[in-house]
Amino acid sequence: MQQRYKAFLFTIILVSSLFWIRFSVEQPTILKKDNLQTPHKGFSAPDFTLQTLDGMLVTLSEYQGQIVLLNIWASWCGPCQAEMPAMQHIHEKYLDRGVIILAVNATYQDNTDNVNGFVQELGLTFPVLLDINGQVAKLYQLHSLPTSFFIDRNGIIKEVIIGGPMSGALLQSRIESLLME
């Protein structure tokens, strides 16, 4: 009788443990384009609206139908500084082919006067947007500066490059690849 009681008790504990394990494990979420929170290759670029240095409002979705290089940077960031001349060259070379560069300054970590001075010093002519509250940094889950997103004509992220500096050759090859799509 004692043996049966121990076996019964063991069975109850085992079944309870299995039940606990089965229902206490967090179920993974299925990744779908509609519910993915982090911007990744193959997913829609999250939309935003920011102000430029001269006070104009720019919304990312306004550029649907064009290829967009979205670059998040800061004026104190060495790799960011190093890649800006190559970005300016790409801007000049491909603007008439439907390629736009949006340089989002992490202004919440930077200083507007420094940004303005940097833009003037390099003669940057592409839109420089001010992320004053870190809205875009949060939306794009920024972990490092610079971070660049290559976005196709349909608003889909085709590539994410974290860190830098990006060379002119790399920029040109990515842009050419998107133009051929």
CA gap 157, 147 in Å, rounded: 13
Tell me the longest C-alpha to C-alpha distance in the chain.
91
Per residue in 92-105, pLDDT (tens digit) is 999 999 999 999 99
pLDDT at 23 over 70: no
Average pLDDT over residues 74-84: 95
Q: Has residue 84 got a pLDDT over 90?
A: yes
Mean pLDDT of 15-30: 48
pLDDT at 34 over 60: no
Question: Which pTM does this prediction carry?
Answer: 0.78
For domain 49-179, the CATH superfamily is Glutaredoxin (3.40.30.10)
> How large is the average pLDDT for residues 145-150?
96
Strand-pairing partners, residue 102, are 70
CA-closest candidate to residue 113, choices 76, 144, 138, 148: 76
Is the per-residue pLDDT at 44 higher than 70?
yes
Nearest Cα neighbor of 81 from 98, 99, 64, 105 is 105
